[in-house]
Amino acid sequence: MNRRRMLTIALIGLVAQFGVMGFMIMQREIALRNGVECRFLTAPVDPYDAFRGRYVSLNLTENNRMLCDREYARGQRIYVIIGNGTNGYSRIERLAPRPGPDDIYIRTRVAYCWPEYREIPAITNNTALARRSHGRRHVLTGKYQVHAKLPLDRYYMEEKLAPEAERAYQNASRRDSQPGVLVVRVWRGMAVIEDLELGGRPIRDVARERLER
């Protein structure tokens, strides 16, 4: 292959590489600037990623498993509709195949979907069968349990701060029930984490203070 053609390929490749990375950044910057602020209650735990370093694993108190009227395939596109809860924090209202025009929603995919069963008393003359089933049988309710993937599972922190953040959360939640709050900006289906707060303050500051003490 001649050198000029190799250079052309290299330049096209570089444009693609810079373009993909630039697009990833731009999308999230727009979401952070123009997105609607949502606040979810969460519990942080500290693990590690070989490429991206230390992070706190987020465990939202909101349930992302909902009962739906229709069946979804695994990996199918789904929308998580966000609403305001009575406690002042955001909550997941429902899962929908399409969002309404005024909805605040996160675009994601179905992790699992399985039919819901209801237990009813078994009526049978077969005593062996009745004993085996403990006098009960399961019937389909026509509804489905749908588990949506939520793209809010990691908050990256400096390697020394992350374990401190987890300890701060454990202390705070034990002592005076201070909740961990995940601040998220949602824009056209994209959710970008803005901050993680503990007792109304960024968890970074809380962890840093503990480290300096």
Partner 1 sequence: MASREIEWLKREVDAWERDGIVDTATAERLRTRYAQVAANETPWGRIIFGSLGALLVGLGIIALLAANWSELGRPTRTVIAFTPLSLCAILYVTGYLRGWSSRAFLEPLGLFWGLSIGAGVALIGQTYHLPQDAEAFTLVWTLLLIPVCYATRALAPVAGYFIGLITWVSMSQLSGGVGLWYWPLAALVAPLIYSVRREPDAAVRSTWMLWTAALCCTAALGITLEKSLPGLWMIIYTSAFAALLLGSEVRGSGERGWWRNPLRTLGGGGLAVVLYLLIFRWPWHEIGWNYWRTDIFRHPWASFFDFSLAVALPVAAAFLLVLAFRRVPRRKWHGVPLLPAWTLWGIAPFVTAIAYAIASHDESDHLPALLMTLYLAGLGLATLGEGLAEHRAGTINLGVLVLLAVIIGRFFSSDASFTAKGIVFILCGGVFLVANLMVSRRMKQKGGAA
Which residues are 59's β-sheet partners?
Answer: 43
Cβ proximity to partner 1, 7 vs 120, nearer residue: 7
Cβ proximity to partner 1, 75 vs 83, nearer residue: 75
Interface with partner 1 by CB under 8 A: which residues?
A: 1, 3, 6-7, 9-10, 12-14, 16-18, 20-21, 24-25, 28-29, 49-55, 73-75, 149-159, 161, 192-193, 204
Cβ proximity to partner 1, 54 vs 210, nearer residue: 54
Shortest distance (Å) from residue 38 CB to partner 1 = 14
The DSSP code sequence of 23-79 is: HHHHHHHHHHHHSEEEEEEEEEE--EETTTEEEEEEEESS--EEEESS---TT-EEE
Distances (CA, A) of 115 to 40, 68, 142, 145: 28, 10, 7, 6
Angle at which helix 203-212 crosses helix 161-175, to 10 degrees, equals 100
Cβ proximity to partner 1, 85 vs 151, nearer residue: 151
Shortest distance (Å) from residue 96 CB to partner 1 = 20
Cβ proximity to partner 1, 77 vs 136, nearer residue: 77
Shortest distance (Å) from residue 30 CB to partner 1 = 12
Cβ 60 vs Cβ 212: under 8 Å: no
How far apart CA 175 and CA 165 sit, in angstroms, is 15
Residues 6 or more apart whose CB falls under 8 angstroms from that of 207 comprise 157, 161, 162, 164, 165, 168
What are the backbone dihedrals phi and psi of residue 143, each rounded to the nearest 5 degrees, phi first? Answer: -110, 170
Shortest distance (Å) from residue 55 CB to partner 1 = 8
Shortest distance (Å) from residue 119 CB to partner 1 = 24
